[in-house]
Amino acid sequence: MKSNIKMRLLSKVFQPLITIPKNAKIKSTEVTCKSQKLLLECGLIRPTSSGLFAILPLAQRAMDKLERHICKHIEAAGAQRISLSSLTPASLWDKSGRLQEMGPELMKATDRHGKQYVLAPTHEEAITDLLADVGPLSYKQLPLILYQISSKFRDEHRPKHGLLRARHFTMMDAYSHHASEDCVLNTYERISRAYRDIFEGLGLKVYRVEAPSGAMGGSLSHEWQAVAEAGEDSLTICQRCQHAGLEAKCPRCGGEGEVVSSIEVGHTFVLNTRYSSPLGACYTDAQGARPPLRAACYGVGGSRLLAACVEAGGRWPRGVAPYSALLVPPKEGSKEWQQLGWSAVEQVYSQLSVLPTLRDDVIVDDRCDMTIGKRLMQANRMGYPYVVVMGKAALESPPRYELVCESSTQLLTMPELLKTIDTIDHGNMAAEKVTA
C-alpha cells in the first residue's frame, strides 16, 4: 500500500507513447529527424495539424526550465520582461513596409469590424509603437532593453522537422533602444555575451555568424548556429582559426573550412532607425530635440532550441530535463519488493528530494509490473540525467543503490549517492559561473 507521502509518479503523467517502426512512412507525422522522433515516441509532443503541435506535460516542464534559463541570462544583461499581444494591427506592418515584403509568411486575421491584424512572428512594429505612444523617452532613460517570451506564428510553406520548423512556436524576443550608435553596438555585444552564456549553459556548440538582414532590415545581423546533423543550414568552420561563417573561404585568414550542417537557434540585428522613423518613436536629447530612437533586436527560438538540444546532444541538458532524477523501484513480486516494499521507495525519494538541486525534480517510475531492465531502457531513451535503481544491492547492509549517470553506473550507499549527485551538480554550476 502506498502511503500519504506525495511523490511524483510516472504512471500519473499524461505521456501517450507511440512506436514509429524503423523505415516506416508515416505521412501524418512527417518524422524527418532524431529530435522529432524522440519527442513523438516518448509522448512529449503530439501533432495536431501540419506544423502545429501540442506540447505535453514533460515537454512543458522542459520548456519552463529552458525559459527560466534564458530569463536569467537576458535579465543579467539588463533586460526587463513585458508581454505584448500576439495580434498586431496590420496598419503598423503597412507603415514599416513589411506587410507586403513578408507577404504569405504572415498569418492574418480580421475582426468583426473589418480591422485587419497580423498574428505576429516577431514584434518590432509592436514594441516601437508602444514606445512612440508613451514617449518621447528622455535620453536619461536610455538604453532601455525590454523582452518577452511568447507564442509566434509563421505560415511556413513546408513545415518539417517537428519543432525545428513549425507554424506556431515560442520565442524570446528582446528589443534595445538607444540614443547613439555607439550605445547600440555596446549593448549588442553585451547581449551577445548573454547569448553565449545561454548556449554554453545548455552544452551547445553555437557559432555567431554574420548574415544578411533580410526583411528585418538594419545595418548588422548575426545568426546563431548550432551544429547538428538535421540542420537545414550549412556552416563553414575554418580549420586554421576556427572562425565560422557562411562563406566557403575564411575571410580572416584565408584558410579552407569544413562544411557542417547547423540549426539557427537565434538571430540578432542592429536596426538603428529602421522602425522608429516610420512609426514615430523618438527620444528627447539634452538640447530638447527629438531624434528617432536607435534600436537593436534579439531573438532566441524557445521551442526550436528545445528540439535543437535533443538533436545536437541526443540527451537533455542537465538544467532542461523534464525531471532531473528518476527513481526505479523493484519489480512487484520480486524478493527486493517483498523485503523493501513501498515504504523504502518513499524513504529513498525523500532522501533524494533533500538535495537542493533535486527538490521537486524527482519522479518515480512506479510501473512496477514491468521489469527494472525494461524501465531502464525507457529511462535511457528519455535521457534523465540521474537514474537511481533499487536493485539487489538495496537489500545489503547498508543498502546500496545503482546510479546511472551519462552511461556510467556506480553502486553507492545513500550518503555516497547524495554526495556524488551534489558534487556533479555543483561542478556544473561552477562551470556555468566561469563561462558567465
Q: Which of 76, 67, 93, 77 is nearest to 151 (CA)?
A: 67
Exposed/middle/buried for 407, CB within 10 Å: 0-12, 13-18, 19+? exposed
CA distances from 356 to 63, 324, 362, 422 (A): 20, 12, 11, 9
CA distances from 331 to 4, 55, 292, 390, 421 (A): 21, 31, 69, 9, 25
Decide: 410 and 420 in contact? Cβ < 8 Å.
Answer: yes
pLDDT in tens, 312-341: 766 788 889 999 999 999 999 999 999 999
Asked whether residue 78 carries a pLDDT value surpassing 60, the answer given is yes
Decide: 253 and 240 in contact? Cβ < 8 Å.
Answer: yes
Provide the percentage of residues in the chain whose pLDDT is more than 70: 93
Cβ-based neighbour number of residue 75 at 10 Å: 15
- Sign of the Cα torsion 307, 313, 316, 320 reads negative
Q: What is the DSSP letter of 290?
A: -
Asked whether residue 102 carries a pLDDT value surpassing 60, the answer given is yes
Confidence of residue 5 (pLDDT cuts 50, 70, 90): low
pLDDT in tens, 107-133: 999 999 999 999 999 999 999 999 999
Confidence of residue 1 (pLDDT cuts 50, 70, 90): very low
Full set of structural domains in the chain with CATH: 55-313 (3.30.930.10), 323-435 (3.40.50.800)
Amino acid 233: pLDDT: 87
Q: What is the DSSP letter of 375?
A: H
pTM of the predicted protein model = 0.92
Cell of 364: 518515480
Asked whether residue 214 carries a pLDDT value surpassing 50, the answer given is yes
Average pLDDT, the chain: 91
